[in-house]
Amino acid sequence: MIYYIADCHFFHGALNDRMDKRGFESVEAMNDYMLTKWNNKVTNADTVVILGDLSLGKVDETNELIHKLKGKLCLITGNHDKYIKSADFDASRFEWIEDYKEITDSQKKVICSHYPIPFYDGQYRLRHNGDPKTYMLYGHVHETRDEVLMKKIIEMIKTTPYNPIGSTHESFIPCNMINCFCKRSDYTPLTLTEWIKLNKAIEENSDYGK
């Protein structure tokens, strides 16, 4: 099984009362909760693609953390993943570490980036039934004003008409982007199918794109 999650920010206690307002009583409580949620879902046979900003801890703290997390770890580097530059960082714990990665999951192409990419490779590719062949998974923006703006951009793209090459029928530009912000999934890594379902529920129960 392949799971995805973004912006855990282990050891970043300021997020309990600022920006995310996670509400944990301490950074230790936050770390323990996220670690438990992760390990209750993931087995060591699973793969977890971390879409950036895993940890703000020191390199020794982060090394200890990654050996507690279950699964085969893969990292898309985020702007806060400073520990990877340390000579003491245990990069061997990861299957790969990349700034950007395209993978195949459940016969779908998955674009993995810490930063949202509104015009991504494979965006227009659809199956005969209209289902998307490609998804763009991102992080970085949490639930900030940047995510509000990103949703407006996504809605603009989805409602923009165009004429596909070789077709006389007008269509609309596909845009299948999902913010895999950890707080959305209660700090639990989710499969692509689970993120698609959760993202749809969020869209249906919010002022999406408004």
Residue given tokens 């249906």 in the structure block: 204
Non-local (6+) Cβ contacts of 70 within 8 A are 38, 39, 42, 43, 44, 46
Homologous superfamily assigned to 2-140+176-203 = Metallo-dependent phosphatases (3.60.21.10)
User: Given pLDDT bands bounded at 50, 70 and 90, which one contains residue 167?
Assistant: confident
In angstroms, the CA 41 to CA 182 distance is: 14
* Contact between residue 190 and residue 198 where contact means Cβ atoms under 8 Å apart: yes
Q: What are the domain boundaries of the chain?
A: 2-140+176-203
Q: Which pLDDT does position 208 carry in this prediction?
A: 47
Q: What is this structure's pTM?
A: 0.94
Assign residue 132 a region: left if phi > 0, alpha if psi is -120 to 50, beta otherwise? beta
User: Given pLDDT bands bounded at 50, 70 and 90, which one contains residue 9?
Assistant: very high
Find the mean pLDDT for residues 98-106.
Answer: 97
* Contact between residue 22 and residue 30 where contact means Cβ atoms under 8 Å apart: yes
